[in-house]
Amino acid sequence: MSAVQQLTLHLPAWIDEVVDWQKVYQNDEEKMALAVELSRQNVLRGSGGPFGSAIFDCASGKLVSVGVNRVMPLHNSTAHGEMMAIMLAEQSVQSFSLSADGVKRELFTSCEPCAMCLGGTLWSGVKRLVCAATADDARAIGFDEGPVYDTSYDYLKNTGVEVVRQVLRDEAKAVLDAYLHSGGTIYNG
């Protein structure tokens, strides 16, 4: 077998059935409702773990990208919902930074990020991070969030990232619980 030197990451085919790319989102609840719906559909359709994310242009309320967890289908431990949304947004704006063009963008995620995704959030250049379910909600069903500390969040805030937590938490937590009860694999518990 020759050495592998390239990979492709892709969202599931159903994304366009769920996402209205033209919609202008008015507030945090509307934006988070999309992230949570993506997490719910990912579980219902069996296309990955119970996590969804979306990145928006803060000023216009327009959607830039979405992501769902693709760890198991893509055989990729880094294919978390947040990372998928970040990578696709950066591809969309053709930059490794989601703020280099002076436009403020924000990441909505159905669950507080793991250690990798909190780092990914920092490097992405988004200026707001909005979370639904808590890290403890994820831990309660067996997921390991890794080394995430209060000081990790302080670091983000000190670099100018606004952090908002527990928007639509109950709705997002219900998806986590449904995933567990449906027998979903806890791949890094």
Question: Which of the residues are catalytic?
Answer: 82
Query: 3-class SS at 65?
Result: strand
Quote the CA–CA distance of 28 and 24 in Å, as a whole number: 12
Piece of the chain touching Zn ion by CB under 5 A; list 99-107, 113-121, 152-160, 165-173: 113-121
- For position 70 contacting Zn ion by CB under 5 A, the verdict is no
Instruction: Give 74 or 116: the residue with its C-beta nearer to Zn ion.
Output: 116
Residues facing residue 53 across a β-bridge: 67, 109
Instruction: Give 23 or 167: the residue with its C-beta nearer to Zn ion.
Output: 167
Q: Rounded to the nearest whole angstrom, what is the least distance from the CB of residue 81 to Zn ion in the complex?
A: 7
Size of the site for Zn ion (CB under 5 A): 4
Among 31, 70, 80, 173, binds Zn ion (CB under 5 A): 80
Quote the CA–CA distance of 46 and 160 in Å, as a whole number: 37
- For position 66 contacting Zn ion by CB under 5 A, the verdict is no
Q: Rounded to the nearest whole angstrom, what is the least distance from the CB of residue 32 to Zn ion in the complex?
A: 17
Q: Rounded to the nearest whole angstrom, what is the least distance from the CB of residue 161 to Zn ion in the complex?
A: 16
Would you call 153 exposed, middle or buried from its count of C-beta atoms within 10 A (0-12, 13-18, 19+)? Answer: middle
Instruction: Give 15 or 116: the residue with its C-beta nearer to Zn ion.
Output: 116
Query: 3-class SS at 102?
Result: coil
- For position 117 contacting Zn ion by CB under 5 A, the verdict is yes
Instruction: Specify whether the CB–CB gap between 23 and 63 falls below 8 A.
Output: yes
SS3 content of the chain, % helix, strand, coil (to 5): 40, 15, 45
Which residues in this chain contact Zn ion in the complex, by CB under 5 A?
80, 114, 116-117
